[in-house]
Amino acid sequence: MMILLNWLFVMVMFLGGVWVFCSSRKHLLAVLLSLEFIVLSLFLGLILYLNKFSYEMFFSMVFLTFSVCEGALGLSILVSMIRTHGNDFFQSFSILQC
């Protein structure tokens, strides 16, 4: 019973992150935070899956390393956007502009 509650918690976390990702269209920071929340829910699901079948936890560390790299890349994009455009609104810049 407890295992089903854990999986339900992971699914609610994942779907909540996807819902925020799809509904937030103004700020880049909200989009990046929702992506990190999705990655966190996937990491929790991976840990639960690996513990269920008594596998090694090495792959979870590789996944965590890639998620940290993804977060650092998103933060660098946010900082460069704020430096060039002054804010993180999507409407304030044009993609076609160099």
For the chain, the domains span: 28-86
Q: What percent of the chain has pLDDT over 70?
A: 93
Sign of the Cα pseudo-torsion (62, 67, 72, 77, in order): positive
State the pTM of this model. Answer: 0.85
CA-wise closest residue to 35 among 85, 88, 71, 89: 71
Q: Is the pLDDT of residue 95 over 90?
A: no
Identity of the residue numbered 63: F
Whether the Cβ atoms of residue 10 and residue 43 lie closer than 8 Å to each other: no
pLDDT at 39 over 90: yes
Q: What is the average per-residue pLDDT within 15-23?
A: 94
The pLDDT of residue 81 is: 85
Average pLDDT over residues 12-27: 91
